[in-house]
Amino acid sequence: MFENFIFETLQNGFWNEYLGKEKVFIFKFNDGKIKRYILNKDNEKEILNLCQEFADCKFDSIDKMLRDNNFYKEIYFKK
């Protein structure tokens, strides 16, 4: 399974996300603990806070963060 690859290879202190029918975020904390989220209205703020913490960067929103990513912009957000 693709996610198993992410779980095994993702370095501590980083996250990975992928978009499909759902927007999935996988965070691997410095202690090796992994948290997986499927983005929804109830957890959007928590995911945004984790992205900001892991990246040490301020993002206006998850949507804007993804739209500003050249990979996603070209594939998922074409006008």
Q: In order along the chain (79 residues), what is the average pLDDT of each group of 10 residues?
A: 92 94 96 98 98 97 90 70
Q: Which long-range contacts (CB under 8 A, 24 or more apart) does 25-31 make?
A: 25/50, 25/51, 27/54
Instruction: Tell me what pLDDT residue 57 has.
Output: 95
**pTM surpassing 0.75?**
yes
Instruction: Tell me what pLDDT residue 76 has.
Output: 67
